[in-house]
Amino acid sequence: MIRTVPTKPYPDQRPGTSGLRKKVQVFQQPHYVENFVQAIFDCVPDRDGAKLVVGGDGRFYNREAIQKVIKIAAANGFGHIVVGRGGILSTPAASNLIRVRGAIGGVVLSASHNPGGPDGDFGIKFNVANGGPAPESFTEAAFARSKAIDVFRLVEAADIDLDRLGVTRLHETTIEVVDPVADYQALMERLFDFDRIRDMFRSGLRFSFDAMGAVTGPYAKAIFERALGAPDGCVLNGVPLPDFGGHHPDPNLVHAAHLYEAAMRPDGPDLSAASDGDGDRNLIIGKGCFVSPSDSLAVIAANAHLAPGYAGGIAGVARSMPTSGAADRVARKLGVNVFETPTGWKFFGNLLDAGLVTICGEESAGTGSSHVREKDGLWAVLMWLNILAVRRQSVLDVMRDHWAQFGRNYYVRHDYEEIDAAGANDLMGALRGRLASLAGSDLGGKRISVADEFSYLDPVDGSLSSNQGVRLLFEDGSRIVFRLSGTGTVGATLRVYLEQFEADPARHNLDVASVMAPIAAAAVAVAEIPAFTGRLKPDVVT
Ligand code: G16
């Protein structure tokens, strides 16, 4: 039976960079999930009889939220709901399912790399029919709807058994519980040379993958250990847990420091990798060599043709603005398109749909391609395995060759987390107010050639996205970018992105922190970071 339930709106349901993310306790408020999900569905006019994909990263409150989503979807006319067994679907696997099943969209429950558990974070994101995150026009419409909502509808029924594969009915809707791994694994087997990677494992490649107690465990075990024959146990923390086993599932040098330390030892793994809460981010570390996400994007663009799925070459590369320009150099050499978009995977969707680009990436540990419409952590690891298997080189040698050919974009990001939101906004406001006087001035002994705020005109749909970060571009090709994160749940996070290009091969193997120290000091000074934030140093350097 369908029940129409009166409700009162919450004013704070504005999605950020990647969906609505809040503390678990916020989502646990009465009708909080129901309101937002109803607001989303109200913005999907063609939902009658349509197919919907539902799944999440397994974090605390995943199962409860999925039951609500299913019951509300069934009451809102969806004809067929595909849900991952146990409520599990990695973000890229959800994107793939939406595409291969011809769904109108999907509801993905995740707060990505943010911590989980009862005191952690939760999130809800809507993906559209191309498999990618809903565009800004949609998320703004859902936000507007959430502020006016006065009823939601749900089917009153017992909970669906999420742990049994197969088909059941809920009111007039078919509910299908599917293996979360199978379709995704089949896609990976089409894109990459599994035989060659298998041979490389057989010949002794030492590999370690940390699923960080989050969603990629079942995928990684199936693909790396079972299909590719990597040694049992190479997948660490491979069982998805509601609190991620206490891990902060953010695959960076702070939260995966143990991988870095192991990789720097002479007897360390040849390749160490990790993914985040929902499986869309990646960390790549070779023996003695951390690969920055910006460099990883460039290497993947330059070598993608070595994998069967990309043997015909790539149409182009897109990167978010704060990502280094390393990939641009590759694209120019290959003679393919290159695009610079705002932060947020959703901005790649139109370019991928239009066939303008094949490979996309972001400095925030996201890399992916036209195979789905999300970034994809395991895809990036498989791409690296495929590159190593064909080139028969160490990660370090691949990087050295790459820098010799294209030059090196030294890069680092400094994050000031959970700072006072008013102070953060004042800092950005003060910078904005000084852009005109900064252009042409000297900073840290270098001339600023351009000082502006990035905006993006989507070449496909003509939409304009403004206020996407303050940029200081220097005459020598180096760059400082200031931006406030759109994914935090407490206060504000200031991100400072620093980049310096080095063409001289004699200077390609320097210590990154030392190279970046002068520009980092210049960034602190020009933005008066201590004065506005009360912080003397960043919380995370990655
Ligand atoms: C999300 C988006 C990414 C973005 C990242 C960082 O990632 O999908 O496109 O680069 O947030 O955003 P911000 O700098 O605003 O925190 P995820 O992995 O959290 O979904």
Could you report the per-residue pLDDT of 368-401, keeping only the tens digit for each? 999 999 999 999 999 999 999 999 999 999 999 9
Name the DSSP class of 431. Answer: H
**Taking residues 165-191, what's their average pLDDT?**
98
Report residue 451's pLDDT band, with 50, 70 and 90 as the boundaries. Answer: very high
Atom of ligand 1 nearest to the CA of 345: 9
Q: What is the pLDDT of residue 506?
A: 95
pLDDT of residue 489: 80
CA 353 to ligand 1 centroid distance, Å? 20
What is the structure's pLDDT at 307?
A: 98
In angstroms, the CA 395 to CA 43 distance is 46
Which residue's alpha carbon is nearest to atom 17 within ligand 1? Answer: 112
Instruction: Report the sign of the C-alpha dihedral through residues 341, 346, 352, 357, in that order.
Output: positive
Give the atom of ligand 1 at the shortest distance from the alpha carbon of 374.
8
Assess contact for 92 and 218: CB atoms under 8 A.
Answer: no
pLDDT digits (tens, 9 = 90+) for 66-100: 999 999 999 999 999 999 999 999 999 999 999 99
What pLDDT score does 17 carry? 81
18 lines ligand 1 (CB under 6 A): yes
Active-site annotation, residues? 112
Sheet holding 366-369, edge to edge: 337-341, 316-320, 359-362, 366-369
Domains 184-406 and 408-541 are alike in CATH topology: no
Q: In what order do the strands lie in the sheet with 166-170?
A: 20-23, 121-128, 105-109, 51-56, 80-88, 173-178, 166-170
What is the DSSP secondary-structure string of 80-106?
Answer: EEEEEEEEE--HHHHHHHHHHTT-SEE
CATH C-level class of 408-541: alpha beta
Give per-residue pLDDT as tens, 465-507.
999 999 999 999 999 999 999 887 889 999 999 999 999 999 9
401-438 per-position pLDDT tens digit: 999 999 999 999 999 999 999 999 999 999 999 999 99
The pLDDT mean for the chain works out to 97
**Half-sphere exposure in the Cβ direction for 304 (13 Å, CA):** 30
User: Is 336 in contact with 314 (CB distance < 8 Å)?
Assistant: yes
Distance 18 CA to ligand 1 centre (A): 6
Tell me the backbone φ, ψ of residue 101, rounded to 5 degrees: -95, 0
Does any ligand 1 atom lie closer than 6 A to the CB of residue 345?
yes
Average pLDDT of span 440-445: 94
CB 206 within 8 A of CB 262: no
417: left (phi over 0), alpha (psi -120 to 50) or beta: beta
3-state helix, strand, coil in the chain (%, to 5): 35, 25, 40
Residue whose CA is at the smallest distance from ligand 1 atom 4 = 344
Q: For position 9, what pLDDT does the model report?
A: 98
- Answer yes or no: is the C-beta of 17 below 6 A from any ligand 1 atom: yes
Q: Ligand 1 pocket check: which of 345, 414, 465 to mutate, most ligand atoms within 8 Å of Cβ?
A: 345
Domain ranges of the chain: 2-179, 184-406, 408-541
Whether 486 is in the pocket of ligand 1, judged by its Cβ within 6 Å, is yes
Ligand 1 pocket, 417 CB below 6 A? no
Coil vs helix vs strand at 38: helix
Check if 377 has its Cβ closer than 6 Å to any atom of ligand 1.
no
Decide which of 3.30.750.24, 3.40.120.10, 3.40.1390.30, 3.30.70.20 is the CATH code for 2-179: 3.40.120.10
Which pTM was predicted? 0.96
pLDDT at 247: 87
Coil/strand/helix, residue 250: coil
Class of domain 184-406: alpha beta
